Amino acid sequence: MIAAGCDVGSLTAKAVIMKGDVVIATKIIRDRSTPVESARAVMSEALREAGLVFQNINFCCSTGYGRHSIPFALMNMSEISCHAMGAFWAENSIRTVIDIGGQDCKVISLDSSGRVLDFIMNDKCAAGTGRSLEILSKCIGVPLEKLGPVSLKSWRPVLITNKCSIFMELEVLQHMYKGKRTSDIAYGINDAVARRVVSLGRNVDMRYEVAITGGVSKNVGVVRNLEKLLDIRFKPLGVDPQIIGALGAAVFASLELKKLRNAEVAI
């Protein structure tokens, strides 16, 4: 039986395909013009990788900002539930998930079955999100994917104190005007995002083990600053942390398939 999860976020779309309890394909793409186009494109590519077609999917669960628009999904779940379940499925010792996506960041506490106990979410301001990093990296002329590695070369990091993304950009421009090194500003950008997430996380009971998910989990500068500020080491998940939401959706789809099979047997 084939279960699929589709996560259409603000910047990227992700798909995961499972056969039984095994992940057989994953895919990440940049968003297309609409959630429907994004979902169809990413699922088509994942299916191609698995050697399957849409008709082979027995059950699909959607998540993310565009989850209500995906026509081939039979159910949808919140990103919070899916990130919790996906992280737990990948590593069942996880009890806290820090998810930093394109337009929001979340800190999620979960129980011993992967269900959400508590969470806090910042979706009112771009500060502390992938979008903020994207804007600020362009401001200093560094590709987003290199912002983390560049920041590691810093030896006199600047401090960015503003908590609003607009004023953060102005502060970055001031540092550039003063002739600060690009690596030092890059460190300050990553540190500012990490501090914003830590401030958010103080409102949730963070328990070990802790995992980080979302696109920003690939920024080594943000990750190292978070680990330093929280005095922890993130638990590796063994899968790409950016597909955790889609993985959680696929797990929910798989669980629903099992329920349907059991109901058929009972009849």
Residue ranges per structural domain of the chain: 1-91+237-267, 93-236
**Closest to 20 measured CA to CA, from 246, 251, 243, 244:** 251
Contact 198, 229 (CB under 8 A): yes
**Closest to 85 measured CA to CA, from 7, 196, 12, 201:** 7
pTM: 0.93
| Per-residue model confidence (pLDDT) at position 265 | 67
Contact 140, 185 (CB under 8 A): yes
| Per-residue model confidence (pLDDT) at position 267 | 61
Q: What is the pLDDT of residues 118-139, one digit of tens each?
A: 999 986 676 778 889 999 999 9
Q: What is the pLDDT of residues 196-234, one digit of tens each?
A: 999 999 889 999 999 999 999 999 999 999 999 999 999
Query: Could you give the CA distance from residue 62 to residue 36 in angstroms, rounded to a whole number?
Result: 11
15 has pLDDT over 90: yes
Angle at 45 between CA 39 and CA 46, to 5 degrees: 90
151 has pLDDT over 70: yes
48 has pLDDT over 90: yes
CATH fold of 93-236 reads Nucleotidyltransferase; domain 5 (3.30.420)
Distances (CA, A) of 23 to 29, 108, 134: 18, 24, 30
To the question of domain 1-91+237-267 being in CATH 1.20.1630.10, the answer is no
